[in-house]
Amino acid sequence: MLLKLYDKNNNPQDLQRIIDILNDGGLIIYPTDTMYAIGCHGLKERAIERICRIKEIDPRKNNLSIICYDLSSISEYAKVDNNVFKLMKHNLPGPFTFILNGTNRLPKIFRNRKEVGIRMPDNNIIREIARLLDAPIMTTTLPYEEHEDLEYMTDPELIDEKFGDIVDLVIDGGIGGIEPSTVVKCTDNELEIVRQGKGWLEEN
């Protein structure tokens, strides 16, 4: 099912339908400030396992990421010291994934790695959903094979054609990007840019 949403003034019933899907353990595809992504309620382990199977990710070997609505909700799910807090405040919302040590509020599936990726995209649609859900959204980019047409990653109608059968809802937020987020590791008291993507980190 494809649902058109906008930066603001969305129908509250449409938003509630998405929240109900997430609370029921469903999967959605949505725009971010980088690429379209697939996600679920970040505290529902079965839904997270479904996404891991779709993406063929082993959560014991790969970091999982969550979208948080704001900085105060980040500190519930990740350990944030003052320097990292200042850095995030300076750069978020934006196209970054900050890798931090997770807290025990996250489901067991995250604790295999002890770390969690934190996203706070500069995209009103997914941030509003995270705010209304009042919980993190586990997030990962769509599965993509190298020989595929890029439009299957960027055009919501084609995304729905390809993935509509394996998720509960595809949100059409316009044409998406093709550049991933910049990944910044902040776990060992030093910053390391693990992957340079769309975001250019501004240090204080």
170: its two tokens: 């595809």
Quote the domain boundaries for residue 64: 1-193
The mean predicted confidence, pLDDT, of the chain is 95
112: its two tokens: 């295999």
Look-up: residue for tokens 């850095």? 87
pTM for the whole thing? 0.96
- Residue 76 maps to a domain: yes
pLDDT mean over 130-143: 96
The gap between the terminal CA atoms of the chain, to the nearest Å, is 43
- Residue 146 maps to a domain: yes
Residue 134: give its domain's CATH number. Answer: 3.90.870.10
- Residue 204 maps to a domain: no
- Residue 67 maps to a domain: yes
Predicted confidence at residue 204, as pLDDT, reads 65
User: Which among 11, 120, 138 is positioned nearest to 71, based on CA atoms?
Assistant: 120
Question: What band does 131 get if pLDDT is binned at 50, 70 and 90?
Answer: very high
- Residue 191 near residue 185 (C-beta atoms within 8 A): yes
Overall number of domains in the chain: 1
